[in-house]
Structure 1
């Protein structure tokens, strides 16, 4: 009988020693919770594991176990292999010397007899240092950002496991576990960790791991207030609390405590909120300059949509447009249950869920002109016949 994705992934993990964990750029609570939970579980299993993220992380999540062990700005160090044919001459001695100006390294090979020729030498790049890559909560491999862009050969040479819950996932892995019924990637991982624990007769989900997983579930369900909340998500959350998840700590850090830089940043964004009557939605913008002015990081932008902008009852959905280098990043959150944010984002090449979605569009002439074009297009799309 054919194995399920869960069984295939468990088998791959069992047979792998060095594992690379990664999630999408600008990671949210589900991405980070899933990444850190997987990191802690794999370490328990004796694996050599590296957990990597693309960019600056929101300080909101610094309470999570092993948060400080995440690697950022990752660029893999690959071996450079110099091969010498010994068919005609054997090696007597091998040495090297760095030049005084530090511009080169000279390698000396002394044959036992005869001599080496230039054609006896060949050069190759070393293979992948990892046995397995696990990508978490990312619908596309390109969403990994610089981690993928700067290390593309690594992803082509190493088996990839893709674990996600987004409908727009393009199944880029060797093994794809994409569960559209799950509210979060963290929810999916609970079943995987139980399977891995069963194979070694060990309960792998301790208090720290349960806290990471519950963080993912809570953030992706909006603390169980979003329309994607299911009976299963509530059951799994209760299971995590029973396992020792620090639920009050999660609520305190994510919903009740904010750095001063975050409050200043949100103040600027909220001051620009506009109501688009024709499409019945609210929208605002976040400029790159806002980060410098407030001392905030890009990751601190995320919560303003979920915690403030979508709290209004006077609109059907909320839109936040963020300046990101040469692109405009759009984030959508549903307020009325009849609006499908994933469908709306797909018009810009993005995707997501009915309640939350995102997209990126290149900046044309200027950020202001591009945002005006996006708002105009969304206004035209936000009609009862198109969106409901």
Structure 2
């Protein structure tokens, strides 16, 4: 599939120029070692795209190191089924000044966390991403906001490098695709997305097992924390231009009572967003350092990515987030104040 075909059913989406693809392939082909990175607190698209590419590069005989720059390094439990994790190293073991570094699904260098310094010192920095807010912070950009997931671009690169898809690589890519299309529910789920999914499934992966790991498994403590969060949910009918905003929060104390690690509450937003009376859904999650990680979702009429960008975060029109160090009520008020008018 050519870059033009990838973005063909995304009106107005700029595809990566053919010359840029050619240069990227030449750069990777000539490299002996490639350092890969994705954004902090990685989701399925970030980690899946990175590990898929890492396995492909290893198949070409490259030395590969992969990481993400979290202070508390660890793969989220829901993603521990992904193949290729033998390539991961903690940030302390990551090259300080890579000859070639590639980033995945990171819209800004700040999203690389502890690996930001390595990116700044890299001789060549290839940015692979699909966030509209990504202005291109590397020496080369494989950025296309018109595709559904960074995994789409990773698959294109892997194909251009001449590496055939196998079940392990495809599992990582499929996870990225499922994650960023909301299990094929969002408008980004186009014919091209389904065609790619079909090619990935043809390698023998199990969509059922991947979906079960991503969405249908939680420790019992999650139910108690979810109950606490839902019990304090608030509906602000006047927010979002009168379309409504539902919000709630999860504290460290909530999680501590049930022995629940932070990454276990990531999917809570998908339950809160079901409220019919709200166009926008917000869940604030207190992390282990006391900061609030704010997840937002829109049903399509409000660009939450734009709002989160104004608050130091980013994302997409329908799914975005930011970090706040202010109390819950102040954080919610700040977000409410920057929500753009309905489209």
Structure 2 distance, partners of 1:263, 1:361, is 25
Paired position in structure 2 for 1:99: none
Paired position in structure 2 for 1:374: 331
Deviations 1:57-116 (A, max 9, x none): 3211111113355223434477xxxxxxxxxxxxxxxxxxxxxxxxxxxxxxxxxxxxxx
Paired position in structure 1 for 2:12: none
Paired position in structure 2 for 1:189: 154
Displacement of 1:154 in angstroms is 6.0
Q: Is the 8 A contact 1:163 1:176 kept in 2?
A: yes
Paired position in structure 2 for 1:132: 100
Q: Is the 8 A contact 2:45 2:175 kept in 1?
A: yes
What secondary structure does 1:387 align onto? coil
Paired position in structure 1 for 2:33: 18
Paired position in structure 1 for 2:10: none
Q: Is the 8 A contact 1:275 1:282 kept in 2?
A: yes
Query: Kindly tell me: are residues 9 and 331 of structure 1, through their superposed partners in 2, closer, same or farther at Cα, counting changes over 3 Å?
Result: same
Paired position in structure 1 for 2:314: 351
1:1-388 alignment to 2 at 5 Å? 4-53=19-68, 54=70, 55-67=73-85, 69-76=87-94, 128=97, 130-148=98-116, 152=117, 155-197=120-162, 203-279=163-239, 280-306=244-270, 308-324=271-287, 325=289, 327-335=291-299, 337-363=300-326, 367=327, 371-382=328-339, 386-388=341-343
Structure 2 distance, partners of 1:70, 1:77, is 12
Structure 1 distance, partners of 2:135, 2:56, is 26
Structure 2 distance, partners of 1:218, 1:228, is 11
Query: Kindly tell me: are residues 345 and 40 of structure 1, through their superposed partners in 2, closer, same or farther at Cα, counting changes over 3 Å?
Result: same
What secondary structure does 2:185 align onto? coil
Gaps of 5+ in 2: 1-16
Structure 2 distance, partners of 1:23, 1:248, is 26
Of 372-381 and 154-163, deviating more is 372-381
Structure 1 distance, partners of 2:84, 2:109, is 25
What secondary structure does 1:223 align onto? coil
Structure 1 distance, partners of 2:283, 2:94, is 34
Q: Is the 8 A contact 1:227 1:355 kept in 2?
A: no
Query: Kindly tell me: are residues 204 and 301 of structure 1, through their superposed partners in 2, closer, same or farther at Cα, counting changes over 3 Å?
Result: same
What secondary structure does 2:273 align onto? helix
Structure 2 distance, partners of 1:233, 1:217, is 8
Q: Is the 8 A contact 2:67 2:94 kept in 1?
A: no
TM-score (norm 2): 0.86
Displacement of 1:382 in angstroms is 4.7
Q: Is the 8 A contact 2:166 2:203 kept in 1?
A: yes
Gaps of 5+ in 1: 79-127, 198-202
What secondary structure does 2:92 align onto? coil
Q: Is the 8 A contact 1:30 1:185 kept in 2?
A: yes
Structure 1 distance, partners of 2:24, 2:100, is 10
Structure 2 distance, partners of 1:268, 1:331, is 17
